[in-house]
Amino acid sequence: MVHFIQKSSFEATHIEDEWIILDTDQFTVTRLNDLGGFCWLKLREAQTVDSLSEAIDQEYGSTCEKTSIDKFLSDLMKCGLIDHAI
C-alpha cells in the first residue's frame, strides 16, 4: 500500500476556513479548504488513502470517496508538497 507524507520546508497557516501552504524553496503558494487542511495536518505522518478516509470519517462523521482523496494526493504531489513515504 502506498504511503504519502509531507515534504519539509513548508510554512502553513490557517486563516478562517482556508489553509495557505508556502513553499519557501520554490516560492509558491497553495490554498486548501478546511478538509484539505485537515488532511495536510494528517500528512505530517505517513498516510494512505484508506487511513485518510478513516480519519475524515472520524473527524467529520462523513465518508469521502477514495477517488477524491487519491485525486487530492495526486494534486499535492504535482505541487511538490508531498512525497511517497519510505
Cell reading at 40:
495536510
Q: Count other Cβ atoms within 10 Å, centred on residue 30.
A: 18
Q: Does residue 49 register a pLDDT over 80?
A: yes
At 1 the pLDDT is: 81
CA distance 48 to 74: 12
At 62 the pLDDT is: 83
CB 4 within 8 A of CB 84: yes
- Full-model pTM: 0.90
Q: Which fold has domain 4-81?
A: Outer Surface Protein A; domain 3 (3.90.930)
- Backbone φ and ψ for 36, nearest 5 degrees, come out as -60, -40
At 26 the pLDDT is: 81
Cell reading at 48:
494512505
Q: Which amino acid is at 57?
A: D
* DSSP SS3 for 16: coil
Q: Does residue 77 register a pLDDT over 80?
A: yes
What tens digit of pLDDT does each residue of 27-46 get? 889 999 999 999 999 999 99
Q: Burial-class residue 21 by CB neighbours within 10 Å (0-12, 13-18, 19+).
A: buried
